[in-house]
Structure 1
Amino acid sequence: MRIGELAHRSDCDVETVRFYEREGLLDVPAREANGYRLYSEAHLVQLKFVRHCRSLGMGLPDVRILRSFQANPDLACDEINQLIDRQIERIHQQLDSLQLLERQLHKLRDTCHANRKAGQCGIMRNLARAAEGGDCSCHPPAATN
């Protein structure tokens, strides 16, 4: 199959296929006499594998590692387990960061409860004060030792 069909069957853009190919995440396809790439069902499986990993938030280096295990199925899977454990830890860190961000936004939102003009809005005042190097409600001053 040609690249357009591969992209269509994997529900992605042609540029995505080219990108993953450049990144070495897909096996190099054969070429037709006219130079067009010729992809197989194996390429479709590889592409779907990569896209599934990416949908789980995995970065290209981790996907590359998993693809190497896919190509070498007799290897022990300890490193795969560690890779997934690291991904889970990254997700926990992201959750913590998002919860902090949510708390900061609530603090900022709490500075304006009335329908005022923008010049009197507590949110705008906090944002402007922070832009000028001052303290704001959402980012309390750092504790000094």
Structure 2
Amino acid sequence: MRIGELARQTGTETVTIRFYEKQGLMPPPARSDSNYRIYNDTHKERLLFIRHCRGMDISLEEIATLLECREHPAMSCDNVNRMIDSHISQVLQQINDLQRLEQQLRQLRQRCNNERNPMGQAADCGILDSLEHCEPDGCHNHQRHKETNS
């Protein structure tokens, strides 16, 4: 099958397939007489494996490790277990961060209610006032932003 067909069958952009080839995650396909890439079911299975990994936020470097383990079944899967354990830890941290963000947003939402601002005017909005006067050092959102942008 040509690259367009592989793309359709796997829901992957052709540019992404070429990128995975350049990264060494996909084996080079055979070429037709007119130099078109020709893929087979092995390429399709591998591409679906890569997409599944990416859907779980596994990095390209980690996918390369997983593919190596997959191609050498006698290898120890300790690295795979450590990798997944690390991802679990990261997900738990993200959940904690999101829960903290939810609490902050709920607290912020309570600052603008109809009793304090019966006309519903932005000039008297407690949310806008709170956001305007948030101190960077005391605001969890600023701390989270510093960590992700450093």
Aligned with 1:129 (options 121, 127, 133): 133
2:146 counterpart residue number: none
Deviations 1:83-122 (A, max 9, x none): 1111111111111111111111111111111252111111
2:36 counterpart residue number: 36
1:11 counterpart residue number: 11
Give the direction of change, closer, same or farther, for the CA distance of 1:135–1:53 in structure 2 (3 Å limit): closer
Aligned amino acid, residue 56 of structure 2: L
Q: Distance in 2 between matches of 1:55 and 1:112?
A: 38
- Identity among equivalent positions (%) equals 40
> How big is the alpha-carbon RMSD for the aligned residues of Structure 1 and Structure 2?
2.2
1:26 counterpart residue number: 26
Q: Distance in 2 between matches of 1:25 and 1:9?
A: 18
2:69 counterpart residue number: 69
Range that drifts further, 116-125 or 13-22: 13-22
Q: Distance in 1 between matches of 2:137 and 2:88?
A: 34
Deviation at 1:134, TM superposition (A): 6.9
Instruction: Say if 1:129 and 1:135, in contact at 8 Å, map to a contact too.
Output: no
Q: Which runs of 5+ in 1 are unaligned?
A: none
Aligned amino acid, residue 14 of structure 2: V
1:108 counterpart residue number: 108
Query: TM-score, normalization: structure 1?
Result: 0.85
Q: Which gives a bigger RCO, structure 1 or 2 (Cα 8 Å, sep 6+)?
A: 1
